[in-house]
Structure 1
């Protein structure tokens, strides 16, 4: 059984802080669950472009308000507490936060925790070396 608290993740190697967002990683590839689980804060007034070419992601908003733009077709979707979106087609997207947004994110394949977004907003192709 794996039991972790947000307090023990804050300030650890599993807490990644970027200028637009911060991600607290509860489960990663090393945990062997087949997915990774992140508690992410998207900062108010920010706009971020992501394109998970090699991952599928599901996101559940538990606090805040913003919108997601599907850059493959231009559609805009409002996001607020209680809204979920899933990138089942690896859609390139832009996330805009009107207020601080707290999101629960699940990635498949699981993230290792060492990924960084490239210039296209993508994580690299997962490999066995990335543990």
Structure 2
């Protein structure tokens, strides 16, 4: 059995911080569960270009408000507490935080731990693992 708390993970190298978000990676590839699980904070007044070409992701909004815009068709979807969005087609999108948003995220295949978006919004398939 694996037991971790968000507070413990936030105080460790499992917390990855960027300009527009931070992500606490609570469950990773090395845990051998077949997926990874993260609590991500999207900063207020931010916009992040994302295009997960190597991963599928499901995102559940716990708190805060924002929107997601799919670039293929220009559709805009509001995000608020209770919203789940599923990037089942490797959807290229813009994620905007109007207020600080707390999100629960699941990735398949699982992340190694140190992934950040490249210039195309992509996470590499294999990144450095968190020790």
Verify same fold: TM over 0.5: yes
Q: 2:7, 2:67 → 1: CA distance?
A: 28
Unpaired segments ≥5 residues, structure 1: none
Moved over 6 A (4+): none
Q: 2:56, 2:112 → 1: CA distance?
A: 14
Q: How far has the Cα of 1:19 moved from its partner?
A: 1.4
Unpaired segments ≥5 residues, structure 2: none
TM-score, length-scaled by structure 2: 0.95
Name 2:107's counterpart in structure 1. Answer: 107
Q: 1:116, 1:66 → 2: CA distance?
A: 21
Q: How far has the Cα of 1:121 moved from its partner?
A: 0.7
Q: How far has the Cα of 1:116 moved from its partner?
A: 2.3
Q: 2:101, 2:118 → 1: CA distance?
A: 23
Q: How far has the Cα of 1:115 moved from its partner?
A: 1.6
Deviations 1:76-104 (A, max 9, x none): 00000000000000010100111000000
Deviations 1:46-92 (A, max 9, x none): 00010000100000001000000001111000000000000000010
Count of paired positions: 129
